[in-house]
A and B are shown apart, each in its own frame.
Chain A
Amino acid sequence: MTLTATERPMEEHVTDGDLLSAVADGSTAALESLYRRHASWLTVRLSRRCADPAIVDEVLQDTFVAVWKSAGRYTGQGEPAAWIWGIAIRRLVDAFRRTPPAAYPLYDHVTDLNLIESAEDRVLLGVEHGDLAGALGRLSPELRAVVQATVLDGLTTREAGRLLGVPAGTVKTRMMRARAALRKELAR
């Protein structure tokens, strides 16, 4: 790989999709632009799922190395940000497989219980009526973590299990219990 020192990060108006195409063609400048755009929010979002900053940094690094290697596989369908997050969350699962989470406060940074409800909250779980925010908030942290990992992060049962440090079967039972609890709450 030969690179001139004068290669600069790309302009603002270039889309993430364009950047991914350029990365697929081997441009490290495009990779850097992509990194500058996405590293911050990825770091924040990963930090909500892993309390150890060293692991978050490692996952962020792995993520962009993976973007570099597999940018050609981005089909142009869907948000590039969602595609990158899909890589990042799986890299986090891999990191937890190498170093099982001992006592990470996973998915449980809740310090503010004044739940704010938005239209999106309702849409997320396909629930049109009822106090979804309150219902989710009243779930036990274990059940809430399972809902978040599977429904919101789109992980498979097995991946969610690795992320949360529990067997896949436990994820399934907790998800069933969470669904039942939400249905009951929202039916009231």
Chain B
Amino acid sequence: MNEEPMSTEWHLDAELAGRYAQGGVSTVLASSVEQHLIRCAACRALLTPTVPAARLDAVWAEVLETVETPRATLLERLLRGVRVDEGTARLVAATPSLRGAWILGVVVVLTLAVLTAHADGNGIALFLALAPVLPMAGVAFAFGPAADPTHEIAAAAPYSSLHLLAVRTVVVVASTLVPIGLAAPFLPGNAWLSVAWLLPALALTVTMLALATRVAPHLAAIGLSALWLAVVIPGLAHSRNALLASELPVQLASLAALTVSAGALLVQRHDLPELFRRTA
């Protein structure tokens, strides 16, 4: 459509440009002006002085900021969609454990556990041993300079540490519990297994957080994982009871640990900034 304008001799002058910009010309003339402007850069330039440069600069600054800001991740946009404020959404979305690799790892491990469970009774033991550890590991790796590129930002962010801790923990635990919860019904046997791992999982996570006010989160997570496996695996070998994690003593011990740790966490909440300053 590069043909010549329909009336080559017809152009705006400064006076008409000014009146058009002020809204001072009739609809019909304005339409002529607008059709002409589409094809005539010289007449478009006549309108430049009619809009304050400061106004255009302000809009340009916004455009530049938008195009230079990395696109929000899907998670961040989802969180924004449910009215989580922008800063929190970004910090949550930047949580390392939420990266695809972690979720993928969780899914692979659980799939293997479920498949093994069908092949061999000990697979259930593998599932019940791993399921409670995964959310804790996820939360542990959601913090700390080793794992988190936004560590500095998080440490300096104008959020209470407890707020950030709570938000991230909930999101990480939820993102891990969902795949585990989806895997659980595929286990052979007792339906109770579907939820048996929940209480130990929460107990381990909260205990790890309580410990994290004293030691680096990932060290706390490794220690607790070792402890958990040390309790569960020999128990399995000894009694050949694949449902050990669902037994009453384990559940009660989990409940006790959950209560004590949650209490400790509340008492120590003013020390929580330490969580962000630990060196790995």
Instruction: Check A39–B35 contact: CB distance below 8 A.
Output: no
Q: Which residues of A contact B (CB under 8 A)?
A: 1, 3, 16, 28, 31-32, 35, 37-41, 43-45, 47-48, 53, 57, 60-61, 64-65, 68, 77-79, 81-82, 85, 107-121, 123-124, 132-133, 136-137, 144, 148, 152
Question: How far, in angstroms, from A6 to B79 measured CA to CA in the complex?
Answer: 37
Instruction: Check B27–A47 contact: CB distance below 8 A.
Output: no
With a CB–CB cut-off of 8 A, which chain A residues contact B63?
31, 35, 61, 64-65, 68
Say which residue of B10, B62, B66 sits within 8 Å of A118 (CB atoms): B10
Q: Given A45-B37, A121-B32, A40 and B56 touching (CB < 8 A)?
A: yes
Least CB distance from B18 to A in Å reads 10
Query: Can you give 16 A-B contacts (C-beta < 8 A)?
Result: A16-B41, A31-B63, A31-B67, A40-B44, A40-B56, A45-B34, A48-B23, A53-B55, A57-B59, A79-B39, A81-B37, A81-B38, A109-B30, A112-B29, A133-B29, A137-B28
Least CB distance from A18 to B in Å reads 13
Instruction: Check A57–B55 contact: CB distance below 8 A.
Output: yes
Say which residue of B19, B34, B39, B66 sits within 8 Å of A112 (CB atoms): B19
Instruction: Check A110–B26 contact: CB distance below 8 A.
Output: yes
The proximity string for B residues 51-62 relative to A, scoring 1 for CB distances below 8 Å and 0 otherwise, is 100011011101
Instruction: Check A28–B64 contact: CB distance below 8 A.
Output: yes
Question: How far, in angstroms, from A107 to B28 measured CA to CA in the complex?
Answer: 11
Residue of A nearest to B5 (CB): A120
Instruction: Check A81–B39 contact: CB distance below 8 A.
Output: yes
Question: How far, in angstroms, from A64 to B56 measured CA to CA in the complex?
Answer: 12
With a CB–CB cut-off of 8 A, which chain B residues contact A37?
41, 44
Interface size on B, residues (CB 8 A): 41
Q: At the interface, yes or no: B197 with Cβ under 8 Å from chain A?
A: no
Interface centre among A3, A40, A81, A148 (most CB of B within 10 A): A40
Contacts A57-B59, A115-B29, A152-B31 known; 16 new A-B pairs at CB < 8 A: A16-B41, A35-B56, A38-B44, A41-B44, A53-B55, A65-B66, A109-B23, A112-B24, A112-B25, A118-B7, A119-B6, A119-B10, A121-B29, A121-B32, A144-B27, A152-B34
Question: How far, in angstroms, from A79 to B58 measured CA to CA in the complex?
Answer: 27
With a CB–CB cut-off of 8 A, which chain B residues contact A35?
56, 60, 63
Q: Given A57-B59, A120-B6, A43 and B27 touching (CB < 8 A)?
A: no
Residue of B nearest to A15 (CB): B41
Instruction: Check A133–B28 contact: CB distance below 8 A.
Output: yes
Question: How far, in angstroms, from A62 to B15 measured CA to CA in the complex?
Answer: 30
Q: At the interface, yes or no: B21 with Cβ under 8 Å from chain A?
A: yes
Least CB distance from A4 to B in Å reads 13
Q: Which 4 A-B pairs have the closest CB atoms?
A: A109-B23, A119-B7, A120-B32, A133-B28
With a CB–CB cut-off of 8 A, which chain A residues contact B36?
120
With a CB–CB cut-off of 8 A, which chain B residues contact A116?
25-26, 28-29
Q: At the interface, yes or no: B68 with Cβ under 8 Å from chain A?
A: yes
Interface centre among B7, B63, B70 (most CB of A within 10 A): B63
Interface centre among B32, B55, B68 (most CB of A within 10 A): B32
With a CB–CB cut-off of 8 A, which chain A residues contact B68?
1, 3, 28
Instruction: Check B51–A39 contact: CB distance below 8 A.
Output: yes
Residue of B nearest to A153 (CB): B34
Instruction: Check B28–A61 contact: CB distance below 8 A.
Output: no
With a CB–CB cut-off of 8 A, which chain A residues contact B32?
118, 120-121, 124
Q: Given A37-B44, A111-B23, A120-B6, A65 and B30 touching (CB < 8 A)?
A: no
Question: How far, in angstroms, from A144 to B27 measured CA to CA in the complex?
Answer: 8
Residue of B nearest to A63 (CB): B63
Q: Given A40-B50, A44-B51, A68-B67, A121 and B56 touching (CB < 8 A)?
A: no
